[in-house]
């Protein structure tokens, strides 16, 4: 159990938590705006006004520039950035991934981060990119683990220490790395080298990376998804258990004249209207932003407002217990995100372990909803229903039918359940009137399983007109079907 991270609310594998740092408590999930110490599009001192609780900057860049290094060593990191909240520092691993080599050792960069007063320091791990050979992934992972263990031995003071999980796109290596790091009790666990997956829209592969890493970690520790700054994918990543994100996207996209929304990205030159009510958008037209001398700054400000707006919505969804509904909505914004949603639900058995058993209302959002952990949980607990005598399985729209010992309601995607549970979560689900084939198939499958678990009971199934599925033929072999 983490001594610096307290989980206060849960939904799916996501959570709201409190992360204790030397410069204050941070509520997660949250986004850390990336601050380039050489080029500050928006001053760090302004970041709290957008909703930022914590920043991240690059200690390697600071260490390589004389004026930055001298001020940081003399006055401290927080004075250098003019920010009094928590600051995380990266080690230069990103530069290592881009340029192949950097002029600093793991020991030197850890010592530098400690000296300048970083709240969370990061060792010089090797960010192995996707799709490399297994031999390379294993070799670089071995070096990463050696460096992380070395760093753990150097940090015993106030600075928190991150233990990046590497392993390229090999799920077993990611999980093994996480398991090895778990023994050394790092404070925060970043998932590294995932930016190439996001840049190429490989969100399904990203799901594999997150879940395999999470499986190897203590479920109570904070997890940081390195380089994830687009609000479109926050809900998905949070639902899988990520707590911290860092965003350079707000500035990088703005430099490229791109306008971020929670559903995707627009180019400002193609916008006639601004679909946002942030302070920038209500005080400017699209044309005014386009022609403004400070266009990049205006877009960066808008991008930050949207980023934190989405994260607040994610947290509200956790509190209300409808995070998965938000995930399903967001994942329909792009075909590759929809692939990620399907991949996420392939791990429903893992998510179900952390998903609260009681919430408010289950909202059916589409075929993928039939694979949600609530449906899986019901499927796994069918043996708890002991039914004797005779039983009728009826649509919720029909009234209680007399002459049967048991009254069951049929509702897709769950199937048949005792009528007295109709107002209990998740059977109080809001669903479409005519089930789609995936939802109906799962419901009939569960109903068949329930009947087979009670072989001495005579079942009568009242079928609504228009419902058709191949599994009804099998159902008709073990129950009387009436329309």
Which DSSP symbol is given to 369? G
Q: Where are the alpha helices (DSSP H) in 407-455?
A: 437-453
DSSP structure string for 245-272: EEE-HHHHHHHTTEEEETTEEEEGGG-S
Check whether 286 is labelled as a binding-site residue. Answer: no
Check whether 177 is labelled as a binding-site residue. Answer: no
CB atoms within 10 A of CB 102: 18
84 is catalytic: no
Rounded Cα gap, residues 463 and 215, in angstroms: 42
Residue 98 pairs with which residues in a beta bridge?
Answer: none
Which DSSP symbol is given to 430? B
Rounded Cα gap, residues 188 and 163, in angstroms: 6
Q: What are phi and psi of 105, to 5 degrees?
A: -100, 165
Query: Catalytic residue among 75, 82, 84, 90, which?
Result: 90
Rounded Cα gap, residues 190 and 206, in angstroms: 14
Check whether 278 is labelled as a binding-site residue. Answer: yes
**Buried b / exposed e across 173-198, counting CB within 10 Å, b at 16+?**
bbbbbbebbbeeebbbbbbbbbbbbb
Hunting for tokens 């080690």 — which residue is that?
91
Contact criterion met (CB below 8 Å) for 406 and 392:
yes
Contact criterion met (CB below 8 Å) for 412 and 471:
no
Rounded Cα gap, residues 435 and 252, in angstroms: 44
Closest CA to 309 of 334, 281, 285: 281
Annotated binding site for Zn(2+): 276, 278, 281
Annotated binding site for substrate: 125, 193
Annotated binding site: 125, 193, 276, 278, 281
Question: Which of the residues are catalytic?
Answer: 90
């Amino acid at each position: 159990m983490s001594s610096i991270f307290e989980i206060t609310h849960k939904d799916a594998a996501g959570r709201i938590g409190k992360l204790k740092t030397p410069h204050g408590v941070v509520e997660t999930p949250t986004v850390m705006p990336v601050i380039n110490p050489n080029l500050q599009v928006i001053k760090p001192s302004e970041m709290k006004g957008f909703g930022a609780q914590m920043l991240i900057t690059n200690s390697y860049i600071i260490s390589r520039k004389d004026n930055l290094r001298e001020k940081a060593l003399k006055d401290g990191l927080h004075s250098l950035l003019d920010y009094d909240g928590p600051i995380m520092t990266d080690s230069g691993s990103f530069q290592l991934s881009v340029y192949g080599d950097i002029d600093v050792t793991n020991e030197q960069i850890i010592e530098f981060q400690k000296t300048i007063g970083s709240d969370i320091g990061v060792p010089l791990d090797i960010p192995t990119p996707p799709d490399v050979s297994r031999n390379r992934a294993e070799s670089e992972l071995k070096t990463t683990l050696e460096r992380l263990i070395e760093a753990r031995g150097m940090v015993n003071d106030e600075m928190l220490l991150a233990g990046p999980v590497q392993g390229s796109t090999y799920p077993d290596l990611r999980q093994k790395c996480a398991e090895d790091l778990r023994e050394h009790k790092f404070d925060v666990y970043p998932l590294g080298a995932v930016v190439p997956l996001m840049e190429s829209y490989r969100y399904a592969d990203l799901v594999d990376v997150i879940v395999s890493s999470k499986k190897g970690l203590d479920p109570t520790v904070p997890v940081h998804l390195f380089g994830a700054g687009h609000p479109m994918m926050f809900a998905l990543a949070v639902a899988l258990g990520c707590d911290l994100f860092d965003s350079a996207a707000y500035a990088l996209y703005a430099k490229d004249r791109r306008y971020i929304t929670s559903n995707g990205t627009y180019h400002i030159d193609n916008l006639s209207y601004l679909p946002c009510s942030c302070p920038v958008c209500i005080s400017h037209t699209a044309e005014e932003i386009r022609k403004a001398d400070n266009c990049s700054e205006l877009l960066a400000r808008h991008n930050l407002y949207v980023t934190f707006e989405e994260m607040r919505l994610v947290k509200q969804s956790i509190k209300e217990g409808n995070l998965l509904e938000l995930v399903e909505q967001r994942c329909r914004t792009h075909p590759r995100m929809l692939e990620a949603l399907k991949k996420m639900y392939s791990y429903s058995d893992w998510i179900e372990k952390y998903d609260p058993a009681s919430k408010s209302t289950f909202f059916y959002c589409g075929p993928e909803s039939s694979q949600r952990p609530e449906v899986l949980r019901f499927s796994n607990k069918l043996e708890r229903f002991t039914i004797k005598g005779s039983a009728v399985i009826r649509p919720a729209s029909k009234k209680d039918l007399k002459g049967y010992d048991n009254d069951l309601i049929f509702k897709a995607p769950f199937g048949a359940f005792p009528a007295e549970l109709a107002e209990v979560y998740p059977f109080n689900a809001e669903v479409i009137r005519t089930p789609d084939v995936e939802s109906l198939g799962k419901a009939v499958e569960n109903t068949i399983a329930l009947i087979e678990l009670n072989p001495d009971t005579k079942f009568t199934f009242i079928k609504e007109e228009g419902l058709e599925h191949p599994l009804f033929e099998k159902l008709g072999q073990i129950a009387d079907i009436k329309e």
